[in-house]
Structure 1
Amino acid sequence: LHDFGTLGTIQGVESEGDLPIKNWTLGSWEEGAYKISGQMLAETIQTGHHACHACTIRCGKEAKVTVGPYKGAIGHAPEYETGAAFGSLILNDNLEIIAACNDLCNRYGMDTIEAGSTIAMAIEAYENGLLTKRDTEGIELKWGIKEELLEILKKMANNKVGIGRLLAQGVKRAADEIGGIAPEFAIQSKGQAFAMHDPRAYTTMVADYATCNRGGCHLECLGYFSEGGAYSAKCVDFTKPSEPHGYENKGEYAVRLMNFMTVFNSLGLCKFIMLGQITPEMASQWINAATGWNLTGKDVELAGDRLFNIKRMYNNRLGLSRKDDVLPQRMLLHDRQTGAAAGSLPYYSRIMKDLYDYRKWNAEGIITEEKKKELGLDTL
């Protein structure tokens, strides 16, 4: 992380079958992953390191923008998620273009995952005749586009007319407006584009993407992080048999991770300290040192369970339920064809049943009265 940042993981992620490629339709992109890697960044346009306050790791990188309207500027270098969203997802192997896209999104206040995912959906819609050059204002949307990405991002930021207005809505709403089979190309959950980790590679991510309270977020569970070997499940007291492409016990596995990550989120902790095999008991000691309280690891686990379920109750009140805990059909019916996750398709119904049973939600995804009482939330 110090030398190459999160983008330095992209070759390893590709080798594990976890990297989304060509809008989640392919399984391998070895040469392309090398060309846009953190290692390549360090050899070319990287100019320095960036750190959160008092952090000695300095996983953030700075890079020189070499193309586009801000050519010559020094900005934050792309992280892994951005490298994948503007790289492998679109089959763009030009690191300098990716860095320029990242810089534009930072200046415009745009999310790189959503932006890249929306463009990837639009390319597939164009390829299938659902968008024309008239719709795209003369831009030929095709796999591997480079400079065109900068033009599209500027139009999205302007968000007034044409292709810019359409895509600025995000992947779900834009696909819905395009119509036809375009929603099949929108890889999202609850309106939020998937992060750049494939649930066909690590099937805890099925439970995460389907039930995460804010949609297709990877940081509410970190299942890929744990199943990939970076964080032991034993740290959250999960010791049952589990295999990355399998389905057994995945609901409980995901719930334990999600509850603990909810505590991390509320405390504002960096997820990378999980590499130190942090447990709820360790977190309780930090909280006690800061507050003078006397919490235990079990108290921390309970707090995470309460926090996650309070958010779920809020979503239930807004009308979200089992009908919304779904994944795109591409994740369930189409395997990656090649690479480490080839042939893997998640057993969605079994994983979800395991999660619902462990969470004590009913068949409609509503928290049971028994669970509310258990968490002390029955008065809400």
Structure 2
Amino acid sequence: DMPIHNFMGGRWAEKAERISGQTMFKKYGKHERSCLSCPSNCTLVVDIPGTAVGHAPEYETIGAFGSMCENDSLEIIGQCNELCNDYGLDTISAGNTIAFAMEAFEKGLLTEADLGGIRLSWGNGEAMLALLHKIGRREGIGDILADGTRPAAERLGKDFGDMVVEVKGVEIPMHDPRAYWSNAVNYAVANRGACHMEGVTFTVESGLPFPDLGYTAPMDPYITDGKAQLAVKMHDLMVIYDGLGICKFYIVVSYGPTILAEWLNYCTGWKVTPEGLMRTAERIFNVKRLVNVARGLSRKDDTLPKRLLSVPQRDDIGPVDPQGMERMLTEYYRIRGWDEKGTPTRERLKALRLA
């Protein structure tokens, strides 16, 4: 589900092997390590040329500075990762923004002069590094790009709008919703915008079991049936993870509300049930939604960018069906007890003891 060429699709399998986790471990891996007091060795320490020895680039970073920009150099990806750490930039948004600028350069909407002498062709790693420095320092075109793709497109003009791939101002992560339609409704409705960690629905769709939520087998990724219900359940489950301060990588061992309630009760002496925990999560999710509604967000904002609803991911995977997207959204609202505009109804808020 790794996106390519600013979500314009195509095949990139051979080059993808050059930047895979296995290749990185073989070429530059030192050893695995854990975060403090964590039993999971899910972090790889690497020694990539041009960077300090340390934490390996994550999957999202590899996708953002790799396939999205058609760059097959692990060395460039490692340096981009380090620059983002130094400048305090999010790698997903930074990689998306560079891919956006690359497409604009390819189409002649941005010139070398506009970019301060940078020839921003696809796969040009040195150009990527140069542009990252400009973004980090807000120099020249970097001052426009530093706020992300939506504000940049608004400042640069209407011709740039169709190249923006975001929801509510947050750039789409490296899990393409055209590959897993549950991600389409997850991204569209997630309170903070397009964030895979708000729902991680694609993990369940691909077969990760959560028996206490009713999921024990993979789901067909290209149909709408059941996807809204999955998004609701996983949105609420991730609220529990956030509220307890638990790393979401624990989803890989299918930690659902049952074991989380057991942990909480063991630590606090409470007597919380899994159902009660999910009910609390539902209340929190609705409060967040009310904050967004108060700021003017509604159904018009709960959607995907045009590109993902019209352009195939590749030859054998089409776009998300627009009508299917609307059906999933309508079903999501119905399950939540929201009206047709996406506003929680007073009846639902009373049932949740929020009104």
**TM-score tier after normalising by the smaller chain length:** over 0.9
For 2:339, the aligned partner's letter is N
- Describe the shift of the 1:215–1:223 C-alpha distance in structure 2 as closer, same or farther (beyond 3 A): same
- The one-character-per-residue Cα deviations of 1:259-283 (angstroms, maximum 9, x if unpaired) are 0111111111122222222221211
Please say if 1:345 is aligned against 2:320: yes
- Once residues 344 and 324 of structure 1 are traced to their aligned partners in structure 2, the CA distance between those partners, rounded to angstroms, is 19
Work out the number of aligned pairs and report it. 353
* SS, match of residue 132 in structure 2: helix
Residues of 1 paired with 2:44 and 2:64: CA distance?
A: 18
Q: Structure 1 unaligned segments of length 5 or more: list them.
A: 1-17
Q: Which amino acid aligns with 1:88?
A: S
Residue 198 of structure 1 pairs with residue 198 of structure 2? no
Query: In structure 1, what is the Cα distance between the partners aligned to 2:253 and 2:313?
Result: 32
Matched with 2:118 is 139
User: Which position in structure 1 is the counterpart of 2:58?
Assistant: 79
CA deviations 1:143-192 (Å, max 9, x no partner) are 11111111111111111x31111111111111221213312111101001
Residue 258 (structure 1) aligned to one of 232, 235, 239: 235
Q: 1:329 aligns with which of 298, 306, 313?
A: 306
Structure 2 partner of 1:49? 32
1:215 aligned residue (180, 183, 193): 193
Q: Is the 8 A contact 1:171 1:193 kept in 2?
A: yes
Equivalent pair of 1:90/1:144 in contact (CA under 8 Å) = yes
Q: Against the structure 1 CA distance between its residues 373 and 239, is the aligned structure 2 distance closer, same or farther, given a 3 Å change threshold?
A: farther
Q: Which residue of 2 aligns with 1:7?
A: none
What is residue 89 of structure 2 aligned with on the other side?
110
Which amino acid in structure 1 is aligned with residue 245 of structure 2?
Answer: G
In angstroms, what is the RMSD of aligned CA positions?
Answer: 1.7
CA distance in 2, matches of 1:239, 1:367: 30
Query: 1:293 aligns to what SS in structure 2?
Result: coil
Letter in 1 for 2:166: Q
SS in 1 for 2:315: coil
CA distance in 2, matches of 1:222, 1:241: 14
Matches within 5 A, 1:136-285: 136-159=115-138, 161-229=139-207, 231-237=208-214, 242-285=219-262
Separation in structure 2 between the aligned mates of residue 181 and residue 267 of structure 1, nearest angstrom: 44
Q: What's the CA shift for 1:29? A: 1.4
Identity of aligned pairs, percent? Answer: 40
Corresponding residue for residue 319 of structure 1: 296
Q: Secondary structure at the match of 2:197?
A: coil
The answer (yes or no) to whether the contact 2:73–2:125 under 8 Å persists in 1 is yes
* Contact 2:5-2:67 within 8 A present in 1 as well: yes
State the shift of 1:359 in Å. 0.8
Distance of 1:151 and 1:361 partners within structure 2: 47
Give the CA deviation at 1:238. Answer: 5.2
Aligned pair in 2 of structure 1 residues 51, 358: CA closer, same or farther (>3 Å)?
same
Match of 1:12 in 2: none
Partner of 1:13: none
Task: Indicate the residue corresponding to 1:130 in structure 2.
Answer: 109
- Are the counterparts in 1 of residues 31 and 45 from structure 2 also a CA contact under 8 Å? yes
AA matched with 1:123: M
Point out the more displaced range, 266-275 or 101-110. Answer: 266-275
Counterpart Cα distance in 2 of 1:371 and 1:23:
40
What residue in structure 2 maps to residue 61 of structure 1?
Answer: 44
User: 1: distance between equivalents of 2:108 and 2:126?
Assistant: 22
Residues 96, 171 of structure 2: 8 Å contact kept? yes
TM-score by length of 1: 0.89
Aligned to 1:370: 347
| Residue 27 (structure 1) shift | 4.0
Counterpart of 2:95 in 1: which secondary structure?
helix
Unaligned stretches of 5+ residues in structure 2? none
- TM-score, length basis structure 2: 0.95
Aligned counterparts of 2:111 and 2:71: Cα–Cα separation in 1: 21
2:275 is aligned, of 298, 307, 310, to: 298
User: Contact 2:204–2:215 at 8 Å: present in 1 too?
Assistant: no
> What secondary structure, in the 3-state scheme, does the structure 2 residue paired with 1:81 have?
helix
- How many angstroms apart in 2 are the aligned matches of 1:344 and 1:122? 23
Give, in angstroms, the shift of residue 355 of structure 1. 0.5
